[in-house]
Structure 1
Amino acid sequence: MADKQLEAADSSKVWGVFSLVAALLAATVAKKGLNATWKAATGKEPPANPADPDVDIAEALLWATVSGTLVAVARMLASRRAADYYARSTGKLPPGLGADA
């Protein structure tokens, strides 16, 4: 019984690190791509802080919407890919994932 608990704890730690690295990497790549796309489309750097009152409100809203959505989607796709890899490697879904109730 203790062996299964230890194995589950180790599996949970491995999954936690694996999914975190995948999500951070995906967010970084998405942000770099978005920054380059923004600069190409607008000819200027993206707002460093959209909450700054000196940034035009329309630009701040557009940047927050596009960047937030793109980064969230990239992280979700990376997490799904990591979960698929984990499941193929171990034969079971990662801890905490499963069919919706």
Structure 2
Amino acid sequence: MAEERPDVAWRVVGGLVGLATAWAARKILGFVWVKTTGKEPPVDPDSPEVGMGEAIGYAVVMGVGMSVAQIVVNRTAKKRYDSWRALKQVTPGR
């Protein structure tokens, strides 16, 4: 049975989408953190100057927020990419 080759174009597009998503999610989550807590996000959550509750809260918000953003954006981008590829295969030469 022939091995299916990875779609190089999707890997490039997916990588760029991932980078853009991570950057945007970090900015948005940082903004939400400031609006919610009234403080800037901790630069170094491992620092002893940051309270344990704040460090854990920040880690949870960032971890969950980044993961959810990646899942939503990656699935949406993959669906759009697949539909674009299908359309391109149906109408060659355009």
TM-score range, shorter chain: 0.7 to 0.9
Structure 1: state its 5+ residue gaps: 92-101
| Root mean square deviation, CA, Å | 1.8
- Give, in whole Å, the separation in 2 of the partners of 1:87 and 1:15: 9
The 4+ residue runs of structure 1 with deviation greater than 6 A are none
CA contact (8 A) 1:35 1:45 kept: yes
Identify the match of residue 38 of structure 1 among 33, 40, 60: 33
Output the TM-score relative to the length of structure 2: 0.79
For residue 53 of structure 1, report the CA deviation from its aligned partner.
1.8
* Cα shift readout 1:67-94 (whole Å, capped 9, x = no counterpart): 1110111111111011101210112xxx
Aligned position for 1:67: 62
- Give, in whole Å, the separation in 1 of the partners of 2:73 and 2:38: 30
Count matched residues.
84
CA contact (8 A) 1:23 1:76 kept: no
Aligned position for 2:74: 79
- Give, in whole Å, the separation in 2 of the partners of 1:29 and 1:81: 16
Identify the match of residue 49 of structure 2 among 49, 54, 68: 54
- Give, in whole Å, the separation in 2 of the partners of 1:38 and 1:75: 19
* Cα shift readout 1:6-60 (whole Å, capped 9, x = no counterpart): xx45xx2211111111121112111111111111121211011111122100000
- Give, in whole Å, the separation in 2 of the partners of 1:23 and 1:49: 23
Aligned position for 1:96: none
- Give, in whole Å, the separation in 2 of the partners of 1:77 and 1:33: 15
